[in-house]
Amino acid sequence: MPFALIAAANTAIAAAKAGCKLYKDIKNAAGDVREVLDDLKSQFSKIQNPTNEQKIQFNEEVQKVQKIAKSDPNDALGEIGEHLGKFLDAYDSIENLFLQEERDSKKVYKGEESVGRRALRRVLIRTRLSALYADIRTEMTFNAPPELGDLFTRFEKMWEQIQEEQRAANAEELRVLQIAAAKRRRMIRRFKENATWFGAVLFVTIWLISVLILIKTSKTTSLGYY
C-alpha cells in the first residue's frame, strides 16, 4: 500500500541522516578519542554524588565514543548508500502505483470509493512524497560527506534521463494497450453482430423448412394419403 511505502521511505531517510551524522562523528573523533574520553571523565568527575541516571548516561557516552573510534568511515558511506537506495526503491514503487492508477482510470471503476476520495488520496500521497524527496535532497546536498562530492546532483541528472525514457516507454505501452483494447471491443462487437445475423438466418431457415413441411403435410392430407 502507498502509505506503507511512504513509511518505508521515511525510515530510509532517517537512517541515511543517521549515517551522515555517524560519518561526521567518525571523522571528528579520528585521533582525538583519548582527548574526548578524558574530557568526558573530567566533566563527570566534577559531579558530586552523581545519580544512577547520570552514571548510565556517562557510560553510554563513553561506549558511543569508543564505538565511533572503532568504526570505519567507508562502512558509514556504504550505509548511507544502502539507505538512500531503499528510499529510492520505495519512491519508485509509489510512482509505479500511480502509473497503474492512471491506466486503471481509463477503465470503468467498479469500486465503492468516490472519484473525489481517490483523487484526494493521490494528492496527499504525492504531497508527502515530494516533501520526503526534498528532505533527502537537502540532506545529501548540504550534509553528506564531502567524499561523495556532487553525487546526488549527478544522480538526479541520470535519474531524470531514465525517468524521461520510462515516461516515453510507458506512454507507448499505454498506447499499445489502448489499441489492443479497442481491437478487442471491435472483435466482440463484430462477433455479436455476426451472431445476431446467424441467429436471424437460422430462424428464417427453420421457419421456411417448417412452412414447407406444413404445406406438404396439408397437400398430403387433402389428397387423402395417410
pLDDT tens per residue, range 23-52: 777 666 655 656 655 666 677 677 777 788
Give residue for cell 521515511.
10
Residue 67 has pLDDT above 70, yes or no: no
CA-angle at 71, arms to 67 and 72, nearest 5°: 175
Nearest Cα to 15, choosing from 176, 136, 118?
A: 136
Residues 170 and 92: their CA atoms lie apart, in Å, by 14
Q: Report the 10 Å Cβ neighbour count for 84.
A: 23
pLDDT at position 108, please? 66
pLDDT at position 221, please? 63
Of residues 63 and 142, the one with the higher pLDDT is 142
Indicate the pTM of the whole model.
0.50
pLDDT at position 219, please? 64
